[in-house]
Chain A
Amino acid sequence: MDIKLKIWRQSGPKQAGFYEDHRVVADPHMSFLEMLDVLNEQLLEAGKDAVAFDHDCREGICGACSMVINGNPHGPRAGTTACQLHMREYHDGDEIVIEPWRAAAFPIIKDLVVDRSAFDRIQHAGGYVSVGTGSAPDANTIPIGKRESDEAFDYAACIGCGACVAACPNASAMLFVSSKVAHLSLLPQGKVERKVRVRKMVAAMDAEGFGGCTNHGECSAACPKSISVDAIALLNREYMFAGLARD
């Protein structure tokens, strides 16, 4: 299949970006990133600079890949990362526009590669249970209901890719932050620090320059792990109850 590509090229954080047209012959069984590999191989053998994009595990779990494909972060398939998207979703002659995540908090490094360290800094602010190695009680000491545990897992499944920010009309990171907060506050181990955690993480989120949530639900629609937008409501609730709890 013959595919037309319009790809965002930007040589550095401060340089102006532009769209570049390419053509590539793809096989329907290829993954989307393999199609880009083929393009890059073409460019390299022609002695040109290839398109930089983040990728690593290529099995939908590391969260490295990050591109907006025809206006959809990670492409058109629900619950699927760009690396697990396959060309059988497309037809011969299709034009595909590929852009990076666009958010002030995710500055572009090069082409489709963005800096997502803001997510790490939010996690530093409190995305953990303060337990030192060795001081844990036996794992079965505290029973946790299957339902609570499963629900916590649903939120913990976040891969930190940033598609929620990319999809949000406000470039808000609320789904990311809330899934971490919800995961930990649903488990007894995380409840101890829940008030301080939510306050610090929300403050860190604001400091990074993400937008606010206006309940569009686009984040959840784009999330490759289909994390429910309920997480955000849970975050809001946690935040209200946390009030002005002491650090």
Chain B
Amino acid sequence: MKLDAKIPSGPVQDKWDKARFELKLVNPANKRHHKVIIVGSGLAGASAAATLAELGYDVECFCFQDSPRRAHSIAAQGGINAAKNYQNDGDSVYRLFYDTVKGGDYRSREANVYRLAQVSVNIIDQCVAQGVPFAREYGGVLANRSFGGAQVSRTFYARGQTGQQLLLGAYSALNRQIAHGKVKMHPRTEMLDLVVVDGHARGIITRDLITGEIRPWAADAVLLATGGYGNVFYLSTNAKNCNVTATYRAYKRGAGFANPCFTQIHPTCIPVSGDYQSKLTLMSESLRNDGRVWVPRNKADLNKAPKDIPPEDRYYYLEERYPSFGNLVPRDVASRAAKKVCDDGFGVSKTGEAVYLDFATAIERDGKPAIEDRYGNLFEMYERISGENPYKTPMRIYPAVHYTMGGLWVDYNLMSNVPGLHVLGEANFSDHGANRLGASALMQGLADGYFVIPYTLGNYIATEYTGEVSTKHPAFARAEAEVRERQRKLLEIGSKSGSSRKSVDYFHRKLGKIMWEYCGMARNAAGLQKALTQIPELREQFWKQAYVPGGADELNPWLEKAGRVADFLEFSELMCHDALYRDESCGGHFREEHQTEEGEAVRRDDEFAHGAIWEYAGVGTPPTLHKEPLEFENVKLTTRSYK
């Protein structure tokens, strides 16, 4: 596996300019002859599809949802960062860059992050022009708020529905191109394999989720914008249908998977209430701007109503442990702190896994109307789900899997090691290192789609394009046959399993428990080893007992789910290998062997200041490791301290 990050030379400030000049262009008249496949229609996919179509490319866009507007970007609540410095509070491109690299615990690529910070300002302009109704001040200018881990107010937001509004903006741009016939949209169509011809990604195999038709598609380049793999934990804040299949299939076809163990646990989610729980709901991080996190100081108080516990008996653990950032410490720090107090037996729910997020102080200070204005819809949502009124009693929250920083390895041009295969948004690994800062996911998705790929894709086509390939090429038939065979096998298990049959969810839940236990918020070598023995056993059981009803030629949600869970059952092993290999604590990856006496993460820069990129070697065979050394020319590696 050849990994060349293709980072332009020169000072970090000039790299993107230099790259844009050096990247080869495609003759405008020729663009329409180049077909581009885009899988996924979230922020990254929709923005890329719209922008590439505007440039003239012939775009085919696929999503498994019934409409591109339902991609999971829609659920992002809090906001989007941009180094506009509208608040005159000391922000700059360089500061956003610096904060992001530091926030990522120095495991991201400087050049990519700097470019992200640079284009962040254009994103806001673009979205406003599309009619995204960002929050505004009375004077008519855009409002900002500060967001987890940042000491400047650089987050733009649209109430608690920023992701929705940004996605609808990108969706509207996409619709315009669909109306012009430049994008052909294929909703309810799932990518099941990548087709590689002569080493280049030249197509995909899809299943029409309504008719069940399996079909090959050929193109000149393939873009994956298929999101993250948080659902490997079963319970996560991801949408139920989010999955790893597209990126995992690409991995099996030779694309390197980078840092799969880097998962982000979001500190403020509604805790699990029972075994039937199907997903976890995030409460925006912005709540930590006004909410104070605490647990009782004494175990005797655990059964008391929170209002009956006097202030001196409350342990505001974030404020006490991190006086300068307090409740606003980055996500990984806040999550681990919650886990620690709960592990110590101070959790405030029946399951022992919850802490209080209390708004009493803020309500007293600013009045209920002000709090209602800021968080009204979030409070309502909390009440709907939990049945408790957060104006009167503190919310109960607990960390939950939220985002995955790991993903397919890409170079500076967002191209994987398989030429022609580009990866955008959460699906790639590039910008957030070991921990993503709040309000940066939306920024990255849109940066990749609107402002990076339009330049870099042209370079691939201008320099590496190898001529037209049709679906008649034997590689397509081979991939298609494999997809059909796998589907046949999945449908066959049920007919053989008889009374020992179990639903696919049964296995997914079991896998989730293994992953949460051993590869969740805190990991250690022994636990990961255990996971690595349990996962193959579970996988074997799955292929014997999983029951998939119905047929292949119809809408069959259980067949869809079975395929996705089957991939999770292989992918989870890759995650554990990576987590075991990375013998240090950094960002969202906390290895219990590497912590200070106070329980803070200890990074090992001498050994692990690199991306770990894995090459597929067969199911059940440990993957092959490759490394991309990370060079820090601008940011000094320090111990992240939020004290």
Instruction: Please give the residue numbers on chain A whose beta carbons come within 8 Å of chain B beta carbons, in ascending order.
Output: 11-12, 27, 29-31, 33-34, 37-38, 40-41, 43-45, 47-50, 52, 54-64, 77, 79-80, 84, 86, 88, 109-110, 113, 115-117, 119-120, 123-140, 142-146, 149-150, 152-153, 156-157, 159-160, 183-184, 187, 189-190
Contact = CB atoms under 8 A, between A and B. Distances in A.
A64 B240 CA distance: 11
Nearest to A122: B175
Contacts of A57: 70, 72, 74-75, 239-240
Contacts of B281: 58-59
B129 interface: yes
A41 B69 contact: no
Nearest to A111: B555
B294 interface: no
Contacts of B278: 31, 33-34, 37, 58
Contacts of A136: 122, 125-126, 128-130
Contacts of A149: 133-136
B126 A56 contact: no
A198 B122 CA distance: 29
Contacts of B21: none
Contact of A62 (B75, B501, B558): B75
Main secondary structure of the interface of A (DSSP, over half): loop
B133 A159 contact: no
Contact of A146 (B54, B127, B138): B138
A59 B168 CA distance: 17
B164 interface: yes
B179 A124 contact: yes
A30 B72 CA distance: 22
Contact of B502 (A45, A64, A124): A45
Interface stretch (B254-262, B380-388, B632-640): B380-388
Contact of A134 (B126, B136, B277, B501): B126
A27 B175 contact: no
B74 A62 contact: yes
B239 A56 contact: yes
A61 B381 CA distance: 11
A139 B142 contact: yes
8 contacts: A34-B277, A62-B239, A110-B554, A129-B130, A133-B451, A138-B125, A139-B125, A146-B137
Contacts of B51: 133
B549 A133 contact: no
A116 to B, nearest CB: 6
Contacts of B66: 54, 64, 115-117
Given A123-B175, A139-B128, 8 more contacts: A44-B558, A57-B72, A61-B163, A62-B239, A110-B555, A128-B130, A143-B141, A152-B133
Q: 8 closest A-B pairs (Cβ-Cβ)? A: A143-B140, A136-B129, A128-B172, A153-B133, A136-B125, A139-B128, A44-B503, A56-B239
Nearest to B173: A128
Contact of A140 (B86, B171, B276): B86
Nearest to B557: A52
Interface in B326-364: none
B276 A134 contact: no
B505 interface: yes
B141 A119 contact: no
Given A45-B501, A58-B278, A115-B66, A187 B178 contact: no
A12 B554 contact: yes
Contacts of B134: 139, 149
B493 to A, nearest CB: 12
Nearest to A85: B384
A208 to B, nearest CB: 14
Interface string B503-538: 101100000000000000000000000000000000
Interface string B84-113: 101000000000000000000000000000
Contacts of B542: none
A153 B503 CA distance: 42
B24 interface: no
Nearest to B209: A109
B130 A131 contact: yes
Given A29-B274, A128-B176, A139 B124 contact: yes
Contacts of A187: 131, 133
Contact of B549 (A48, A63, A80, A156): A48
Nearest to B76: A61
Nearest to A145: B140
A117 B70 CA distance: 12
Given A140-B86, A146-B137, A56 B549 contact: no
Contacts of A153: 133, 158-159, 165
Contact of B67 (A43, A120, A152): A120
Contacts of B558: 44, 50
B479 interface: no
Given A117-B67, A140-B141, A160-B69, A27 B276 contact: yes
Contact of A124 (B137, B142, B178, B503): B178
Contacts of A125: 179
B550 interface: yes
B494 interface: yes
Contact of B65 (A64, A86, A131, A133): A64
A116 B66 CA distance: 7
B563 to A, nearest CB: 16
